[in-house]
Structure 1
């Protein structure tokens, strides 16, 4: 095969490579994390975002119940652990190798993290707003 797409058009996505040593840190949602941008938002015209979240220090208090304005948020734990709870009653500690796909608009709360947590986070589309919300019925506010 010659590698051609046989007349099919490629999506408007550019090849991008992010190296740990040079990927820039960007402003993020939480003061206890730093966020390393992997260049995916720029390469996809904002259709997808990828960042690595690294603990500056472990959480001192839960984030509080919130939702994200996106279609989906994908979380993959690289190092350490994070405890989360969800509006459907699911609650757990997620460790290296664990992955979650959180539908956009689903209420959830980050309860705690290890001091060394590192998480790969993707969102579709790239821009992902965060809105505080009331806890689901029968669940406590953080």
Structure 2
């Protein structure tokens, strides 16, 4: 039987939460979708979008998480997963296995993705570089 005491119903509309800075990366904006509160920290779901051109990227890191997926909604991003370059385009879904070393190093100005991670308070740990990183694509000046 479904345990209704450990989670709550949640319905967040676009106007309920806005994109804000102060998330994991300064060059991205984040929009909370209410899932962390509804699941009492079991899962987080947020939208992430580009805010500034890629200069250094995320650096090599891994997450202490049980589950993580990225669903690209708009634009594209280039990641290194271990030593494999991976282009993630709108419509793609990536399951990042627990502990995989990765580096998001390039993305389009319109990049926006949905990220779902468990637990909500997952940790990010810097790791030693796995390989060289290609240069990001310069954004056209406005």
Paired residue secondary structure (1:35): strand
Does 2:54 correspond to 1:59? yes
Unaligned runs of 5+ in 1: 1-7
Does 2:90 correspond to 1:96? yes
Runs of 4+ in 1 over 6 A off after TM superposition: none
Aligned-pair RMSD on alpha carbons? 1.7
Mapped to 2, the partners of 1:22 and 1:62 lie a distance apart of: 29
**What residue in structure 1 maps to residue 127 of structure 2?**
133
Mapped to 2, the partners of 1:109 and 1:100 lie a distance apart of: 14
Mapped to 1, the partners of 2:98 and 2:14 lie a distance apart of: 28
**What residue in structure 1 maps to residue 110 of structure 2?**
116
Paired residue secondary structure (2:109): coil
Asked if structure 2 preserves the Cα contact closer than 8 Å seen for 1:67 and 1:107, the reply is: yes
Mapped to 1, the partners of 2:90 and 2:107 lie a distance apart of: 12
Unaligned runs of 5+ in 2: 135-142
Does 2:29 correspond to 1:37? no
Asked if structure 1 preserves the Cα contact closer than 8 Å seen for 2:105 and 2:133, the reply is: no
Normalization by structure 1: what TM-score?
0.85
Normalization by structure 2: what TM-score?
0.85
- Determine which structure has more spread, i.e. the larger CA radius of gyration: 1
Q: Per-residue displacement from partner, 1:105-130 (whole Å, max 9, x unpaired)?
A: 11001110111110100101111211
Q: CA deviation at 1:104?
A: 2.1
Asked if structure 2 preserves the Cα contact closer than 8 Å seen for 1:57 and 1:116, the reply is: no
